[in-house]
Amino acid sequence: MKKKLITIFAILLFPLTVAAGGGGVALDPVNINLNDKESLQKGARTFVNYCLSCHSAGYMRYNRMGQDLGISEELVAENLLFAAEKTGDLMKAVMPAADAKKWFGTAPPDLTLTARSRGPKWIYTYMRSFYRDESAPSGWNNKVFAHVAMPHVLYEWQGEQRPIIEKDSHGVEHITGFEIAKAGTMTEKEYNEAMRDLTNFMVYLAEPAKLVRYKIGLYVILFLIIFMVAAYMLKKEYWKDVH
């Protein structure tokens, strides 16, 4: 009976394991921590400087982001407002979508909700999996997004990667890893850390209410602890007469 149940479970869960695989490419785990304000701020800086030129995060306003991440309105205006005029503006792309479509063949999608549609692991792996491909129009390809129209916009940081390709038993070629063909300004560790911060920020972007929920959660736990002490004292008081 037990074996049968396990078999049924395994069959039911199989589609989940396939779906989580992201098309057969292994995704790397990433340490997401929305309480890490410094990481969120660094991620925001990268996002605004390097992504908003093409992509929008059209459901977020600069000042809301500043408030949530503990960046003052003046600092937002001074350091993060390249693509807009007022801190109350939505985070729209600099490049008009029609031009982008003409240049890249496909319009860069809005990134507000990408951390939810693709998942943090996917974004983290994607941003670290660009490699040189002379046959591609942009000169770049990506292990998790084959024939992607996006060029590797952070190659100066990461450097240029070349794929290590191996054939499996059926003669099909797979990318098993990368080697750095041309060094960037960051070490591998620094680049991974920057991509972790960027992914962390995009998780916040996709669900800003998560931060509020964490705060409420803390108050609830505090309340429960205080309530437990009160309940315990009350119980002692009631039982005094019984004993």
- Closest CB 19 distance from ligand HEC, rounded Å: 16
DSSP calls for 85-140: SSTTSEE--SS-HHHHHHHHSSPPPP-TTHHHHT-HHHHHHHHT-EEE-TTSTTSE
Cα separation values, 174 from 55, 77, 98, 166, 200, Å: 30, 46, 35, 5, 29
- According to DSSP, the β-strands at 90-91 and 140-142 are unpaired
73 or 104: whose CB is closer to ligand HEC? 104
56 or 87: whose CB is closer to ligand HEC? 56
- Closest CB 55 distance from ligand HEC, rounded Å: 5
DSSP 168: -
Residues 1-30 within binding reach of ligand HEC (CB under 6 A): none
Site string for ligand HEC, 187-206 (x = CB under 6 A): -----------x--------
Site string for ligand HEC, 76-115 (x = CB under 6 A): ----------------------------x-x-xx-x--x-
57: three-class secondary structure by DSSP: strand
40 lies in the binding site for ligand HEC (CB under 6 A) = no
Cα separation values, 238 from 148, 172, 234, Å: 70, 75, 6
154 lies in the binding site for ligand HEC (CB under 6 A) = yes
- Closest CB 126 distance from ligand HEC, rounded Å: 6
59 lies in the binding site for ligand HEC (CB under 6 A) = no
CB atoms near residue 175 (< 10 Å): 18
Which residues of the chain form contacts with ligand HEC (CB under 6 A)? 50-51, 53-55, 104, 106, 108-109, 111, 114, 117-118, 123, 126, 148-151, 153-154, 198
